[in-house]
Amino acid sequence: MENSEDTKEPTQVIALGIKDHSLMHLALCANWGLDSAVTIMIGGQVVAGILVSGQEYAEHTAKEFRDANSSEEVGNALANFYDELANDYRKEDGHEMPLNFIHIKDPAYLKGDGNWYTIRNSYLRVAIDKVAAFSNGKPDTDN
């Protein structure tokens, strides 16, 4: 008699990350203009900064591409993508903003020596389902 375990076809399993509803709520608040300090852990790295809207992130990135040392045509082509992304985060009745990412302004990274490395005038975009842990507020990262 043939063992039924030996004849079964493998089943494909699709695993998706879990989105923390508290963090999603903070992202929604940020998308409506309520910035807040946050500290997250992602991939074993601790990052602290100011949670801002996706629109602010996209507008800043579009401006960076337009101001980049490249031809105007190339800069605008890259920037146009972020202009459209900023439009996804518009605040208007009946429009549902995406809640897949958080955006952190002036991210500071915890180094192995316990000090922080801050990147000013920069934004970090992080998939919410990749955040392993978070806390409201941030430590003093100016060291």
Domain residue ranges of the chain, discontinuous segments joined by +: 17-136
pLDDT (0 to 100) of residue 143: 73
14-19-23 Cα angle (round to 5): 165
The residues that bridge with 127 in the sheet, in sequence order, are 101
pLDDT tens string for the chain (143 positions)? Answer: 555 556 778 887 776 778 899 999 999 999 999 999 999 999 999 999 999 999 999 999 999 999 988 888 889 999 999 999 999 998 887 878 889 999 999 999 999 999 999 999 999 999 999 999 999 999 999 87
Place of tokens 């063992």: 3
Contact 99, 28 (CB under 8 A): yes
Give the model's pLDDT for residue 15: 65
Q: Is 134 helix (H, G, I), strand (E, B) or coil?
A: strand
**68 Cβ partners below 8 Å, 6+ apart?**
75, 78
What architecture is the 17-136 domain classified under in CATH? Roll (2.30)
Kindly calculate the radius of gyration of the chain based on its CA atoms and give it in whole angstroms. Answer: 20
